């Protein structure tokens, strides 16, 4: 069982709101009548800075999502500036096998005792959700948490195994919290985009767009994903625990069991969805170079 949840006159907080999907959702929330929107990020793009400057009810708050105190500060800012805790929480900050934390190049020293990649993509949405539930219970309010995962959350990604693992984690976490709507009055949903044209392919992991053949022909825009997030938040059609997929092939609710690939009809994939062989080779090339150096080398 679910309920409608209009964005109108609500307080909204978005991690990763400085660019891409997060920024697109933040501006959509403003357009949908949100009372106030706070975007948390480590920095703003020029586009985001211009939007924040020109939009009276859009506020930027510096936030490193690996720091739990920064996540709590997003909620505290809403209380201080707008007199209440947020009603809507969107966790869109994420990275894709960045040069400072990835599986195959393995740049982090043993003393790190963990992957920053996992801190950003997994620990951040989990802790953000816990803080959201606590804040909403404290004010005895209903609310919605939307977590941005990926189609990689239920598919294999050999060149990007940590990214895939983190998105699997978000899908499992979202499903596990489905009953929070019934017990705590907090709806937790997940949105799983396909390939999206965002800075994750350029500034976050330089060169990855070319390596994986990311182009407009297979990508959707951040605005399309933002609309899906908004629909998931507002519509009673999507109860807690729902996983909403959005890609070039359309939107669907992903079932818990026996997940078919996007766009499959009668056991067949649409024409043109196969990855070209030359792109597979190109995506694997850096991995083969690294493991070639390691073979037989115990230094």
- 98: pLDDT strictly greater than 80: yes
What's the chain's average pLDDT?
A: 90
What per-residue confidence (pLDDT) applies to 195? 85
Mean pLDDT confidence for 142-157: 96
Looking at residue 200, what is its pLDDT?
58
The pLDDT value given to residue 136: 99
Bridge partner residues of 11 (DSSP): 36
Range from 17-31, 128-142, 152-166, 202-216 carrying the lowest mean pLDDT? 202-216
Least confident residue range of 84-88, 101-105, 135-139: 101-105
E strands, the chain, are 11-15, 36-41, 58-62, 88-91, 143-148, 186-193, 243-247, 250-253
Contact present, 146 and 232 (Cβ < 8 Å)? yes
Give the pLDDT of residue 284.
86
Q: Is the pLDDT of residue 105 over 60?
A: yes
Query: Rounded to the nearest 5°, which phi and psi values hold at 243?
Result: -110, 115
Q: What is the pLDDT of residue 146?
A: 99
- Tell me how far apart the alpha carbons of residues 256 and 4 are, in angstroms, rounded to a whole number: 23
Helix (H) / strand (E) element for 291: namely: helix 277-294
| Lowest mean pLDDT segment, chosen from 35-39, 76-80, 99-103, 142-146 | 99-103
What 8-state DSSP symbol labels residue 265?
B
Confidence (pLDDT) at 268: 61
- Radius of gyration over every alpha carbon of the chain, rounded to an integer in angstroms: 19
CB within 8 Å of 17: residues ≥ 6 apart: 23, 25, 26, 37, 38, 39, 40, 41, 48, 60, 92
Give the pLDDT confidence score for residue 209 in this predicted structure: 47
CA atoms of 74 and 135, how far apart (whole Å): 11
DSSP 196: B
Helix ranges restricted to H, 2-123: 20-31, 46-54, 68-82, 116-118
Pairing of strands 88-91, 250-253: unpaired
Of the two residues 76 and 45, the one the predictor is more confident about is: 76
- Render pLDDT for 250-278 as a digit per residue (tens, 0 to 9): 999 999 988 888 776 656 655 545 556 76
Distance (Å, rounded) from C-alpha 202 to C-alpha 198?
8
Q: Is 163 a catalytic residue?
A: yes
pLDDT given at position 219: 80
pLDDT in tens, 183-231: 999 999 999 999 887 665 555 555 554 555 555 666 899 999 999 999 9
**Domain-by-domain residue ranges, the chain?**
11-294
Residue 52 has pLDDT above 90, yes or no: yes
Q: Which CATH number describes the domain made up of 11-294?
A: 3.40.50.720
Give the model's pLDDT for residue 145: 99
Q: Please tell me which residue in 25, 89, 115, 163 is annotated as part of the active site.
A: 163
- C-alpha distances in angstroms, 290 versus 41, 44, 236? 32, 34, 49
State both tokens at 68: 């739990």
Lowest mean pLDDT among 26-35, 93-102, 217-226, 276-285: 276-285
């Amino acid at each position: 069982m679910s309920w409608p949840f209009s964005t109108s006159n609500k307080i909204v907080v978005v991690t990763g709101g400085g660019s891409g999907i997060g920024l697109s959702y933040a501006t959509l929330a403003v357009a949908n009548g949100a009372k106030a929107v706070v975007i948390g990020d480590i920095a703003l793009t020029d586009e985001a800075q211009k939007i924040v400057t020109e939009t009276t009810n859009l506020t930027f708050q510096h936030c490193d999502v690996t720091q739990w105190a920064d996540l709590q500060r997003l909620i505290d800012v809403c209380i201080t500036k707008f007199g209440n805790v947020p009603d809507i929480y969107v966790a869109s900050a994420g990275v894709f096998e960045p040069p400072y934390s990835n599986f195959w190049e393995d740049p982090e020293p043993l003393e790190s005792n963990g992957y920053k990649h996992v801190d950003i993509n997994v620990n951040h949405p989990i802790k953000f959700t816990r803080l959201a539930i606590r804040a909403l219970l404290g004010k005895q309010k209903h609310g919605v948490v939307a977590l941005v995962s990926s189609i990689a959350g239920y598919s294999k990604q050999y060149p990007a195994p940590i990214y895939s693992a983190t998105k699997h984690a978000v899908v499992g976490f979202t499903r596990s919290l489905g009953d929070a709507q019934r017990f705590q009055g907090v709806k937790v949903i997940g949105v799983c985009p396909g390939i999206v044209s965002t800075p994750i392919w350029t500034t976050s992991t330089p060169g990855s767009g070319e390596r994986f053949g990311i182009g407009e022909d297979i990508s959707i825009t951040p605005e399309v994903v933002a609309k899906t997030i908004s629909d998931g938040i507002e519509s009673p059609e999507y109860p807690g625990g729902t996983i909403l997929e959005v890609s070039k092939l359309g939107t669907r609710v992903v079932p818990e069991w026996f997940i078919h690939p996007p766009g499959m009809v009668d056991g067949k994939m649409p024409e043109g969805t196969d990855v070209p062989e030359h792109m597979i080779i190109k995506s694997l090339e850096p991995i083969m170079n690294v493991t070639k150096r390691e073979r037989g080398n115990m230094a």
